[in-house]
Amino acid sequence: MISFDEAVELIRSAAKPLGTETVTIVEAAGRVLANPVVAQIDSPRSDVSAMDGYAVREADLDSLPASLKVIGESFAGSGFDGSVSPGACVRIFTGAPVPSGADRVVMQENVRREGDLEIIDEQPGSASQVRRRGSDFATGDELLAAGRRIDPRAIVAAAAADLAELEVYRRPRLHILSTGDELAQPGTARSRAHAIPESVSLGVAALAEQWGAECLGRTCLRDDLHSMESAAAAALNAAEVIVVTGGASVGEKDFAKAMFEPLGLELVFSKVSIKPGKPAWLGRVGEKLVMGLPGNPTSALVTARLFLAPVLAGLTGAPIERALAWRRIPLASPLGDCGARETFHRARLLSGAAEILSFQDSSAQKALAQADLLVRQRANARAMPPGELVEFLDF
């Protein structure tokens, strides 16, 4: 049995990017850039007005009040074609090109309009109210680095660079196999004695999508090795990542690993010294990865967050530290001492502190929904009082 940190390093070695593809910017949200985003144009593309007002020559404001003749208008997307000569000005709107000859904009609040004259009675201040060409970025500037996850802010920058397509890392295709004779589809369990609603694969699928995977489907399997072997082969044929939930212990019907053995399963690790989730495992079949998660809902979701999320980060071109971004937070409630296995406590954020949930059972589902933090407690750690800082992940 290996430590959590040892398992993470094995994931780092196993989860490499799957290659790249070009997608439209509309499809790029949530993906990871394979190449930098480089500006194809200046921004702004010319000197533009930062305000609604009048484009004037600074020299015409040397003597106030100044009375300037309005000779035209400049709108965003359609500027004034002529030039501003001494004693003249142009009505201008936010984002519109500053016409030739003008070197500042006077806000309309500082102007009196009388017919075709603009009158400035007092000094309008030192700010030019002009956004200079290329003041945001210039052609050839790198706006986004390779490896950046394309979030809404990155989408804005990429579009502003005048790019319609982006080269990104491929999304891993993922299939989930849930095992157990007792499982029933949600909505049907009540009609069969001893049945349990199959909840785990739905949560794992949602988590996998959050971390960049394309979930091809979920298959619920009875504990029959022959049919499980067929399902394993079909899943490997379609997907790069297979997640198996349940069947990871040592019972007579625990076939999670056995169903992949005829296909050449090689274990990367098996059993991790953590609580919950000791039975979690990772294997390889050729270039494909197979991850085994416990069948209990809390154990499955905790280990998916700790192990599947970094696997998917690595496959999508991101550093696995993006999935394991540990931070520190004070405890809102006491934490008892830890045993020999490193423990990940479910907790919720309460006024800037971590409140450890009272019910930590690995089968919990109501308490699982209440948790938004995972608090990490190292093996053999002492008890900690409220206020002490602990490591945590967003859950």
Same domain, 289 and 199: yes
CATH number at residue 152: 3.90.105.10
Same domain, 36 and 147: yes
Per-residue pLDDT of the chain (395 residues; tens, 9 = 90+): 999 999 999 999 999 999 999 999 999 999 999 999 999 999 999 999 999 999 999 999 999 999 999 999 999 999 999 999 999 999 999 999 999 999 999 999 999 999 999 999 999 999 999 999 999 999 999 999 999 999 999 999 999 999 999 999 999 999 999 998 899 899 999 999 999 999 999 999 999 999 999 999 999 999 999 999 999 999 999 999 999 999 765 555 679 999 999 999 999 999 999 999 999 999 999 999 999 999 999 999 999 999 999 999 999 999 999 999 999 999 999 999 999 999 999 999 999 999 999 999 999 999 999 999 999 999 999 999 999 999 999 99
Count other Cβ atoms within 10 Å, centred on residue 184: 18
Element (H, E) at 22: strand 20-24
The tokens describing 2, both together, are 């290996």
Asked if the peptide bond before residue 44 counts as cis, ω within 30 degrees of 0, the response is yes
Same domain, 348 and 216: no
Range of the domain at 348: 327-394
Per the structure, the count of domains in the chain is: 4
Same domain, 276 and 367: no
Closest CA to 30 of 234, 170, 180, 240: 170
Give the residue from 145, 169, 193 where a domain finishes: 169
Same domain, 180 and 277: yes
Q: Taking a C-beta distance cutoff of 8 angstroms, is the pair 134, 175 a contact?
A: no
The Cα–Cα gap between 88 and 84 comes to 6
Same domain, 289 and 198: yes
CATH number at residue 386: 2.40.340.10
The tokens describing 65, both together, are 């009040």
Give the residue from 146, 169, 192 where a domain finishes: 169
**DSSP assignment letter at 335:** B
- Please tell me the predicted confidence (pLDDT) of residue 247: 74
- Please tell me the predicted confidence (pLDDT) of residue 254: 78
Same domain, 270 and 197: yes
The tokens describing 341, both together, are 């296995």
Distances (CA, A) of 146 to 20, 139, 156, 165: 12, 18, 16, 14
- Please tell me the predicted confidence (pLDDT) of residue 253: 63
Same domain, 152 and 202: no
Q: Give backbone dihedrals phi and psi of 160, rounded to 5 degrees, phi first.
A: -65, -25
Same domain, 29 and 73: no
Same domain, 288 and 367: no
Same domain, 232 and 215: yes
Strands, DSSP E only, in 188-340?
A: 196-197, 214-221, 241-245, 266-270, 274-275, 281-285, 288-293, 327-330
Give the residue from 302, 322, 342 where a domain finishes: 322
Same domain, 337 and 355: yes
The Cα–Cα gap between 270 and 1 comes to 7
- Please tell me the predicted confidence (pLDDT) of residue 35: 97
Q: 3-state class of 236 per DSSP?
A: helix
The Cα–Cα gap between 320 and 311 comes to 7
The Cα–Cα gap between 241 and 172 comes to 7
